[in-house]
Amino acid sequence: MFLLKLILLFIPLDFAYSYSNFIGYGYTSCLTCHYNPFGNGPLNDYGRALGSTLISGNSFLPMSDEALGNNAGFLGSMLNSKPMIRPSIDYRLLRYTTDFLGENSNSRLIHMQADANLVLRFAQDKFIFSGSIGLAPSFTEPGKYSKYSRELYATMRLSDNKRIMAGQTDKVFGVRIPDHILGGRRFTSLAENDQTTGVSYHQFGEKTEFGGHVFVGNMLSVAPEKRLKGASGVFEYGLGGKTRVGASLMSAKSEGRKSMVGAAHIRAGFSKGMSLISELGMNKYELIQSGDSFSDTYFFIQNMIKLSRGLHLLTTFDYYKSNKEALPENVVSERLTTLMGLQYFPMPRFELRLELTNTRILSSRENDSWTLLQQLHIWL
């Protein structure tokens, strides 16, 4: 059981389609491809067409880009003529191998995601409803799965560049990259199952983009005493071309603790298909009952290089340090994680990932661990 918890902690759980790396293709805002203006969740019609042409390979489907784009809807072109309804299905299978370079190598399969989503569009997308239901693997019982909804929200477009959302979504904070193993996601309540119920606001201009969020905790799956209530916001400014700098702030409180997280980030695109993303942040929190206060520091940098159509090289360096004075022996206070792998879209609706992860514990006892991850992602 402890082994399962440890492995799941270091799995890249990219449950969303959102890849901020695609700023390398010139797309600086998530709103271009997603119904959710902050990214994550199902793709809109343009995002589906883009994913089937610019992003995916075409070696296995000898079709023109126009034909691929026209058949990018649910089960091909089905329901494309029905502008109100946009269903989708999302499935991920993960095979991980622990102690990959050691004598005790062990492999296991996990169904990481099996979601069904329905988007309803009204009044030429002035009103949008999105809801999903699926299965999530248990962190405590191997082979067990539970029902879970990562998004259930309604959006109203106030104007061409302003929107308001209400319901269950991810918190509005930082760069939404899918690698939830990073310290800035795992230990700041921004991981794959940390959605919350609230109201958010999105606004963008020619060079600026802003999001604000007021939330009351996960009302669907989390016990009242563990629900984080608070507010967050993110601001981003375009320096020109494909470079964006930004800052985020989040204040949250539950019955047991309160925290304040701040971060600065940069996203930059270079030659077509190449990008660099980095974020530096600090999390200060206090245990309410004891009055003890601590702080965490995190930093990550990730780059993507396009090798050929549909094939990318991904490299990530992640540093995390917890500035606690008296830590139990089994708590990691400082670690460095390096991820290197290939992301391959051989054809529309298919993604393959092969990734080798090294985690080095830099605290009291130095320890290296290697994990090989193989992932299949299919969406319809």
- Looking at the 3D structure of the chain, how many domains does it have? 1
Mean pLDDT of the chain: 85
Residue 191 has which token pair?
Answer: 């991981």
Q: Tell me: pLDDT of 15 over 60.
A: no
pLDDT of residue 82: 67
Instruction: Name which of 84-98, 178-192, 263-277 the model is least confident about.
Output: 178-192
Q: Which of 3-17, 62-76, 189-203 has the lowest mean pLDDT?
A: 3-17
Phi, psi of 25 (to 5 degrees): -95, 5
| Higher per-residue confidence, 247 vs 334 | 247
Provide the CATH number for the domain around residue 62: 2.40.160.10
Please state, in angstroms and rounded to a whole number, the distance separating the CA atoms of residues 336 and 181: 11
CA distance 74 to 85: 10
At 149 the pLDDT is 87
Token digits of residue 12? 């890249």
Are 260 and 231 within 8 A, CB to CB? no
Tokens of 295: 């702080």
pLDDT of 14: 44
297: helix, strand or coil:
strand
Nearest to 15 by CA among 168, 175, 131, 180: 180
Provide, rounded to the nearest whole percent, the portion of the chain with pLDDT above 70: 89
Q: Which of 345, 378, 379, 338 is nearest to 361 (CA)?
A: 338
Give the helix/strand (H/E) hosting 30: none
Quick check: 1 and 139 in contact, CB under 8 A? no
Range of the domain at 196: 2-379
pLDDT tens for 299-333 read 999 999 999 999 999 999 999 998 765 454 545 57
Structure confidence at residue 318 (pLDDT)? 94
> Strand ranges (DSSP E) for the chain?
85-98, 106-122, 127-137, 145-148, 152-159, 162-169, 196-204, 208-215, 229-240, 243-253, 257-269, 275-287, 293-308, 311-322, 334-344, 350-361, 367-379
- Token pair belonging to 365: 């006892």
Given a cut of 50, is residue 199 above it in pLDDT?
yes
